[in-house]
Structure 1
Amino acid sequence: MKRGTFQLMKSVNKSIILNKIRTGEPISRAQIAKETTLTPPTVSSIVKELIEEGIVRESELGESKGGRKPTMLLINHSAFFVVGVDAGPNKIGCVLADLSGKIYERTSIPLQEITSNEQFLSILVESIRTILKRVDQKGNVIGIGVAMHGVVDVETGTSLVAPNLQLRDIPIKETLENEFQMVIKVENDARAMALGESWFGNHGSLNSMLAVNLGSGVGAGVVINGKLYHGAQDIAGEVGHMTIDMHGEVCECGNRGCLQTFATGSAIAEQAGVDSGEEVFRLANEGNEKYATILKETGAVIGVGLTNLIHIINPQVIVLGGGVAKSQKYILPSIQQTIEERGLTKAAKETKVVISNLGDDATLLGAVALLLVELFE
């Protein structure tokens, strides 16, 4: 399979079978036919193609139920790779991962004094080129996923607004397609994180999930039946600009009292009168009750925001990630208590809120998952 051409192998039945193998491996041809209602000859023909293309492999024989032992099928995870990019606001991180999300290579380049789209794109291209140089068989890279902070037009792959970089209308997809001649997917970073949690976060089989990134900004992604929800104008998930206090501090968006004015690392640091959110966490861990209280109060405010979202979206699970979430021992009990106090129903009050297992790699793996959605679904 040549680089970036996996979309040519797409068909509805092929996607159905690939996803059935991915979610049920090891699985037999007969079981696929039974669970998908596709005919056994159709399954056998498509599986033969998938094995020839290298994305599916056969394993040792399964258990017999009276006849010949069936040959089991698995995804050949290490046969193909995806480049995942977390672009901004402070650095561009890149990883090379296989189809299971296992990371083989990574690189990071800081973003300092970026003043133009061209300068940003130059660093982005160099970051990806560095990763690709480390791949022995570049023909096995099926595409590049980019998680970009700010507002993204996912159809054109354009960064419409990158507020922390003070840039607009960055043609990410067009530039990378011209440079690397492969499939490019561009998504908002918080939504990419949500997709990464859905694919790799070990949260079980869920119909709905809300993932919230609490870091230098506050963003979220909603995954429903395995698909990202974008909204009518591609701004679904901008929960950081939910109004919490109409008379609060002015947010970077111009409104007052947004959740982002309470729940980012810089907002916590400003309230505490120190240099960073990390310092607040350190001082709290050293036994300083003043800073522990600030974190607990921040958790209560986040809990108010999450309760609002529970009443609107009603997700099965809420996953918290980002730097602020590392203060979980202070903020998580407050979040849970606030939801319990404010939830409309018993079920709402018991909505599961967890901290990401993926840590700092959640967004990078989300960028990888952008390509996997295209491949498997």
Structure 2
Amino acid sequence: MQRGSFQWMKSLNKAIILNKIRTSEPISRAQIAKDTQLTPPTVGSIVKELLEQELILESKLGESQGGRKPTMLVLNTSGFHIIGIDVGLSNIQFIVSDLSGKVVEESEEHLAENVTKEQFLSLLIKGVKQLIDQHSQLKFIGIGVAMHGIVDTDMGVSIFAPNLQLRDIPIKSHLEEFFEMDVKVENDAKAFALGEAWFQDRINHKSMVAVNIGRGIGAGIVIGGKLYNGEHGIAGEIGHMMIDIYGKKCSCGNHGCLQTLASGPAIVERTKELLDKGEASILTKWMDKVELTAELVHKAALHEDSLAVKILHETGVYIGIALTNLVHIYNPSKIILGGGVSKAGDFILTSMRETLRERAISERAQQTSITISELGQYGSSLGSVALILTDLFEPNLE
């Protein structure tokens, strides 16, 4: 097992070459020199170092361009591993991932309702230590943490975690002191966005937005292959984008935020209101046995229940309005949806896309791609892994 940081990797040319291999493998030394405009001796010297450090491997022979067949280079994705952490509502998910995003192990720790700051940090230590002990043969290079709420990414501190009602949690310093390796901490929605850019698109899309819709709603904005945090770190808080100035009061104190209209709890509340008014639905019978949830509304929609279908359609319209606003401000090439509500699929996607087509100001903007995440249950966990990878590779997209 290897602990510590990759500070010895922090030369620009190394990062450029390593990232070139990652995005274009298999690739020859000559092609790297041509594409990066670095001299062949420089490429040869750095490639030699990367081979010695086992970050890359020599692969098959390439096609001859008139001389000997060149030896191709690939990233040694299974040579090093990262621990990713996603702090959820009631559980903390821990994963061990290789450099390609392949999850080789996972575990969970339960979060008590009234967990203290000290207990929370102890759970993080326990979960990470358990995975490291189970895989002592692996070389770990860092720990990423996806944390809900407001995060100071530079200091690695959770400023406020509303679901836990905890403030000023020194996650980075606490884990780095215990494990002696690099730790990165980021808001979960932003980490999710970075994971999508890194593992799904290999950062082919220089500008994209990933929206996480569950109990709350947050987004991560990727510009030029890197997360955009804004001046005070709140960029992407679209859950608090005001859609209806006369709407319901949000947890943030404002009225009519997107979160009051399209989050999981909002779907439940709107459904209850319509049921109380006497609208017919299969949900009335189901609620005798189980609690009403957004997931249950989706299940009813699958049974062609008209009330459930209408609720999810309206939810898609509200989200579509918010996405149209994002398109007008950031003009991303792609929008990816994740979180529990996104599992409703076409029940919300169709009205979302229709709303964007009706409201976006240009024809090309109207065609902005909106898709569901393929990272599944590991969305934010793999995003936290990507936090370490971006620090290692320092993508150069110019």
Query: TM-score band (shorter)?
Result: over 0.9
- Give the Cα–Cα distance (whole angstroms) in 2 for the partners of residues 75 and 330 of structure 1: 40
Match of 2:214 in 1: 215
Opposite residue 41 of structure 2, the aligned amino acid is P
Opposite residue 151 of structure 2, the aligned amino acid is V
- Give the Cα–Cα distance (whole angstroms) in 2 for the partners of residues 39 and 114 of structure 1: 59
| Kept in 1: contact 2:203–2:225 (CA 8 A) | no
Match of 2:147 in 1: 148
Match of 1:91 in 2: 91
- Give the Cα–Cα distance (whole angstroms) in 1 for the partners of residues 59 and 369 of structure 2: 37
1:306 to 323, 326, 330: 323
Opposite residue 269 of structure 1, the aligned amino acid is V
The aligned length equals 376
Compute the TM-score of the two structures, normalised by the length of structure 2: 0.92
- Give the Cα–Cα distance (whole angstroms) in 2 for the partners of residues 91 and 216 of structure 1: 14
Opposite residue 30 of structure 2, the aligned amino acid is A
Q: Report the alpha carbon displacement of residue 271 of structure 1 after superposing the two structures with TM.
A: 1.2
Match of 1:105 in 2: 105
- Give the Cα–Cα distance (whole angstroms) in 2 for the partners of residues 129 and 12 of structure 1: 33
Per-residue Cα deviation, 1:350-377 (whole angstroms, up to 9, x for no partner) = 1111111112211111011001101111
Matches within 5 A, 1:184-199: 184-199=183-198
Match of 1:327 in 2: 344
Matches within 5 A, 1:229-268: 229-268=228-267
Match of 1:14 in 2: 14
Opposite residue 111 of structure 1, the aligned amino acid is L
2:295 to 275, 278, 285: 278
Matches within 5 A, 1:100-139: 100-138=100-138
Match of 1:35 in 2: 35
| Kept in 2: contact 1:147–1:186 (CA 8 A) | yes
| Kept in 1: contact 2:23–2:202 (CA 8 A) | no
Q: Report the alpha carbon displacement of residue 17 of structure 1 after superposing the two structures with TM.
A: 0.4
Q: Report the alpha carbon displacement of residue 285 of structure 1 after superposing the two structures with TM.
A: 1.0
> Helix, strand or coil: the match of 1:78?
coil
- Give the Cα–Cα distance (whole angstroms) in 1 for the partners of residues 152 and 218 of structure 2: 16
Q: Report the alpha carbon displacement of residue 206 of structure 1 after superposing the two structures with TM.
A: 1.1
Q: Report the alpha carbon displacement of residue 203 of structure 1 after superposing the two structures with TM.
A: 7.5
User: In the alignment, does 2:371 pair up with 1:354?
Assistant: yes
Opposite residue 183 of structure 2, the aligned amino acid is I
Per-residue Cα deviation, 1:168-207 (whole angstroms, up to 9, x for no partner) = 1000001101111100000000000000000112477212
Which moves more between the two structures, 4-13 or 318-327? 4-13
> Helix, strand or coil: the match of 1:79?
coil
Match of 1:183 in 2: 182
| Kept in 2: contact 1:7–1:374 (CA 8 A) | no
- Give the Cα–Cα distance (whole angstroms) in 2 for the partners of residues 130 and 88 of structure 1: 19
- Give the Cα–Cα distance (whole angstroms) in 1 for the partners of residues 239 and 254 of structure 2: 11
- Give the Cα–Cα distance (whole angstroms) in 2 for the partners of residues 89 and 121 of structure 1: 16
Opposite residue 326 of structure 1, the aligned amino acid is K
Opposite residue 215 of structure 2, the aligned amino acid is S
| Kept in 2: contact 1:263–1:298 (CA 8 A) | yes
> Helix, strand or coil: the match of 1:67?
coil
Opposite residue 221 of structure 1, the aligned amino acid is G
- Give the Cα–Cα distance (whole angstroms) in 2 for the partners of residues 202 and 50 of structure 1: 24
| Kept in 2: contact 1:153–1:234 (CA 8 A) | yes
2:358 to 323, 341, 347: 341
Per-residue Cα deviation, 1:103-130 (whole angstroms, up to 9, x for no partner) = 0000011212234211111111111112
1:366 to 368, 383, 390: 383
Compute the TM-score of the two structures, normalised by the length of structure 1: 0.97
Opposite residue 353 of structure 2, the aligned amino acid is Q
| Kept in 2: contact 1:114–1:120 (CA 8 A) | no
Match of 1:168 in 2: 167
Opposite residue 38 of structure 1, the aligned amino acid is L
Percent identity over paired residues: 55
- Give the Cα–Cα distance (whole angstroms) in 2 for the partners of residues 133 and 250 of structure 1: 47
Q: Report the alpha carbon displacement of residue 5 of structure 1 after superposing the two structures with TM.
A: 2.5
Per-residue Cα deviation, 1:16-58 (whole angstroms, up to 9, x for no partner) = 0000100110001111111111111111111000000000100
Per-residue Cα deviation, 1:225-262 (whole angstroms, up to 9, x for no partner) = 11000100111111100001111111111111100111
User: In the alignment, does 2:44 pair up with 1:44?
Assistant: yes
> Helix, strand or coil: the match of 2:154?
coil
- Give the Cα–Cα distance (whole angstroms) in 2 for the partners of residues 161 and 294 of structure 1: 32
Match of 1:226 in 2: 225
Match of 2:313 in 1: 296
Match of 2:277 in 1: none
- Give the Cα–Cα distance (whole angstroms) in 1 for the partners of residues 226 and 255 of structure 2: 32
- Give the Cα–Cα distance (whole angstroms) in 2 for the partners of residues 115 and 65 of structure 1: 63
| Kept in 2: contact 1:105–1:134 (CA 8 A) | no
Opposite residue 354 of structure 2, the aligned amino acid is Q
> Helix, strand or coil: the match of 1:373?
helix
> Helix, strand or coil: the match of 2:93?
strand
